[in-house]
């Protein structure tokens, strides 16, 4: 039996290798596309402008499942609201790519580490089955948690524990689920920790209908649209599974900041130089938005004495809201540039035969960056194809044209 499985895996590896080189069709990709009535086109963190989302050709939305229970075992209000939201999309014929909770949700919300011991593992499996049964009719697919490998999301699990965490949920759901309900997991690009995750996930791939990837190639740095397809093909060769691009996008604002603009931002905090702010140490750190301090605490716990320095080192881009001048195909971070990005990248993606879906990050701009709490930071604020007031940006129309041809 083991020998048979070994030969099967060799055959899959060979067919994916040649399939990716010659862009050949894959029956598992075709099955997902067929069950869905076409390529999966979706948008993350959707607004409720159902009509415009539908007009753009989206049939999918993607958002997180909150912690379903509190520590006393009562169903949370956030979970009830989540289900209500899913019903709203289901009623208009949309499907939800629902992202199952993060490890931290188990710990802070339900009071247990999901993989700490056999008892907790059994509880985690039970919860995965509950989520599937409770949500299968009002969602459309599950992504088992999100971007494990990245410290901010994986905390406090190790990468080995994170793979186990994903694997046991996939296994539990795969035993009971409907064939047409895809389940999988995703990774942040193919960075080192993600490659490690995919390696650790090998024993669990048999439970996956797809493997997801999030790509922001060329948002900062030189790149070409075809680099997206190259990375997707690489993941396909690594896993032998249909790939879903779970997140991709481009800011409509960004780029380098001038010395005057930086001085102005320092001035908001009451300093004229970075050295002055660093010398003010904890006093300066206390002036930062609480979101910024949360990030420092999460990523550099116990290093309080270095935080002020880190702000102008690792987090300088967030502090000033500054990004690289280099981008994919030299596309500028402007509303029209963002539209050009989607035209260029989606046209390449549509040709890729191992890809079953693409989900745009994200729907609407946000007021403040969740990493640093600054309104002037584009990193987590300017991804939207809608402005903050809900009006469409040029990117909305570009995406609509690519999907619908109109």
Contacts to Zn ion by CB under 5 A: 318, 369, 371-372, 377, 379
Give least dist CB 250 to Zn ion, A.
16
Give least dist CB 382 to Zn ion, A.
10
Instruction: Pick between residue 357 and residue 378 the one whose CB is nearest to Zn ion.
Output: 378
Instruction: Pick between residue 164 and residue 377 the one whose CB is nearest to Zn ion.
Output: 377
Instruction: Pick between residue 207 and residue 307 the one whose CB is nearest to Zn ion.
Output: 307
Kindly tell me the burial class for residue 257, based on how many C-beta atoms sit within 10 Å of its own C-beta (0-12, 13-18, 19 or more).
middle
- How far is 87 from 96, CA to CA, in rounded Å? 10
Instruction: Pick between residue 32 and residue 371 the one whose CB is nearest to Zn ion.
Output: 371
Q: Terminus-to-terminus CA distance in the chain, angstroms?
A: 52
Give least dist CB 118 to Zn ion, A.
41
Question: Which two three-digit tokens encode residue 86?
Answer: 């899913």
Q: DSSP label at 182?
A: -
Give least dist CB 219 to Zn ion, A.
13
Instruction: Pick between residue 213 and residue 372 the one whose CB is nearest to Zn ion.
Output: 372
Give least dist CB 315 to Zn ion, A.
8
Instruction: Pick between residue 167 and residue 254 the one whose CB is nearest to Zn ion.
Output: 254
Question: Which two three-digit tokens encode residue 205?
Answer: 């791939």
Kindly tell me the burial class for residue 68, based on how many C-beta atoms sit within 10 Å of its own C-beta (0-12, 13-18, 19 or more).
buried
- How far is 364 from 349, CA to CA, in rounded Å? 22
- CA torsion through residues 312, 263, 371, 365, sign: negative
Give least dist CB 330 to Zn ion, A.
24
- How far is 252 from 361, CA to CA, in rounded Å? 12
Q: How many angstroms separate the most distant Cα atoms in the chain?
A: 70
């Amino acid at each position: 039996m083991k020998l048979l499985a070994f030969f099967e895996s060799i055959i899959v590896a060979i067919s994916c290798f040649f399939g990716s080189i010659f862009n050949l069709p894959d029956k598992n990709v075709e099955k997902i596309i067929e069950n869905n009535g076409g390529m999966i086109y979706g948008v993350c963190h959707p607004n409720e402008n159902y009509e415009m989302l539908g007009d753009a050709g989206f049939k999918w939305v993607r958002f997180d499942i909150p912690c379903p229970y509190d520590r006393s075992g009562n169903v949370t209000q956030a979970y009830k609201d989540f289900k209500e939201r899913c019903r709203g999309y289901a009623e208009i014929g949309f499907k939800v790519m629902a992202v199952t909770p993060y490890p931290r949700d188990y710990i802070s919300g339900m009071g247990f580490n999901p993989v700490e011991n056999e008892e907790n593992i059994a509880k985690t499996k039970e919860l995965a089955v509950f989520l599937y049964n409770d949500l299968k009719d009002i969602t459309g697919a599950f992504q088992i948690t999100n971007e494990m490998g990245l410290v901010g999301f994986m905390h406090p699990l190790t990468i080995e524990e994170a793979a186990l965490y994903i694997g046991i949920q996939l296994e539990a759901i795969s035993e009971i689920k409907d064939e047409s309900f895809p389940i999988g997991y995703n990774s942040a690009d193919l960075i080192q920790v993600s490659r490690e995750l995919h390696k650790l996930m090998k024993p669990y791939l048999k439970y996956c209908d797809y493997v997801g990837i999030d790509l922001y190639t060329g948002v900062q740095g030189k790149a070409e649209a075809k680099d997206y397809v190259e990375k997707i093909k690489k993941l396909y060769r690594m896993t032998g599974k249909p790939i879903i691009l779970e997140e991709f996008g481009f800011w409509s604002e960004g780029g380098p900041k001038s010395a005057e603009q930086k001085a102005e931002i320092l001035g908001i905090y009451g300093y004229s130089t970075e050295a002055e702010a660093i010398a003010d140490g904890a006093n300066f750190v206390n002036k930062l938005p609480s979101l910024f301090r949360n990030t420092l605490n999460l990523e550099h716990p116990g290093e309080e004495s270095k935080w002020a320095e880190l702000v102008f080192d690792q987090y300088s881009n967030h502090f000033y809201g500054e990004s690289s001048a280099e981008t994919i195909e030299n596309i500028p971070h402007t509303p029209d540039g963002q539209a050009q990005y989607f035209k260029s990248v989606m046209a390449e993606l549509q040709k890729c035969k191992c890809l079953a879906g693409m989900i745009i990050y994200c729907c609407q701009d946000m007021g403040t960056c969740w990493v640093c709490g600054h309104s002037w930071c584009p990193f987590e604020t300017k991804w939207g194809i809608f402005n903050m007031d809900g009006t469409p940006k040029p990117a909305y129309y570009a995406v609509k044209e690519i999907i619908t041809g109109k």
